[in-house]
């Protein structure tokens, strides 16, 4: 039986996929949504850093770094969305990122098994395998449907995307553990804050694009 939190998590994931479809159709929605997500993400980062670091200099430097990173990420996203083929590629990568999260959650809940790493006790080896499988299937299917492309390079890129997503997830988990908080916020049902949802995307999209350029 699927618990309420799992249902909310799955619903939110599919809602975000629908939101990405709207991005594909309407650039203005993309711009406004990214601005909102960007500002909320920065605020959540600031909140975490303020809890973790007592040294004001460290906080200042890290805040600047992440403000620049999030701002560049949003700008780069909006810029590439003006090109039809890049928009298709970005949508495929986003589908892969979301699939990575769903796969990890489903496999982790279903098979449990040994823990993956101590900084994130909820992450399991089977969850990591599920992330790899789901990302591979979702990204490969999306690339085939949108661009009629499928070969071994697509599979390799999907694995890179999944690994990057998992690293992003572990990084945010590490920050939450250091800050002694369960979630970065409570704006998304079943997920917590914005960073709880886009932690994988923050690394998955850049690494996905870089691997496409290098490998493909």
pTM over 0.85: no
**Which residue, chain included where needed, has tokens 């369960």?**
182
Provide the sign of the torsion angle of the four alpha carbons 203, 63, 123, 120, taken in this order: positive
Q: List the chain pLDDT tens, one digit each, 216 residues.
A: 555 556 666 666 666 666 666 666 666 666 677 777 778 888 888 888 888 888 888 888 888 888 888 888 877 777 777 777 887 888 889 889 989 988 988 888 888 778 877 777 778 889 999 999 999 999 999 888 877 878 889 999 999 999 999 999 898 888 888 888 887 877 766 567 788 778 888 899 889 989 988 987
Cβ neighbourhood burial of 205 (10 Å; 0-12, 13-18, 19+): buried
Cα 65 from chain centroid? 19
> Considering just the CA atoms, what is the radius of gyration of the chain in Å?
17
Domain ranges for the chain:
4-215
Q: What is the pLDDT of residue 4?
A: 59
Taking CA atoms, 120 is separated from 115, 125, 174, 175, in Å, by 8, 12, 7, 10
């Amino acid at each position: 039986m699927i618990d309420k939190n799992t249902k909310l998590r799955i619903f939110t994931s599919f809602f975000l996929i629908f939101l990405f479809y709207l991005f594909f159709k309407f650039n203005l929605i993309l711009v406004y949504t990214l601005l909102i997500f960007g500002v909320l993400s920065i605020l959540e980062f600031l909140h975490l850093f303020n809890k973790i670091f007592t040294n004001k200099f460290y906080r200042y430097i890290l805040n600047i770094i992440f403000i620049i990173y999030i701002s560049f990420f949003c700008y780069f996203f909006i810029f590439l969305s003006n090109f039809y083929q890049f928009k298709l590629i970005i949508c495929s990568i986003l589908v892969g990122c979301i699939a990575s999260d769903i796969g990890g959650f489903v496999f982790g809940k279903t098979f449990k098994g040994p823990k993956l790493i101590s900084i994130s006790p909820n992450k399991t080896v089977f969850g990591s395998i599920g992330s790899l499988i789901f990302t591979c299937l979702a990204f490969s299917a999306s690339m085939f449907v949108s661009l009629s492309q499928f070969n071994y390079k697509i599979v390799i890129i999907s694995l890179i995307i999944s690994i990057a997503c998992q690293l992003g997830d572990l990084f945010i988990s590490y920050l939450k553990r250091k800050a002694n908080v369960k979630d970065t916020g409570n704006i998304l049902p079943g997920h917590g804050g914005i960073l709880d949802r886009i932690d994988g995307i923050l690394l998955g999209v850049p690494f996905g694009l870089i691997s496409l350029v290098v490998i493909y």
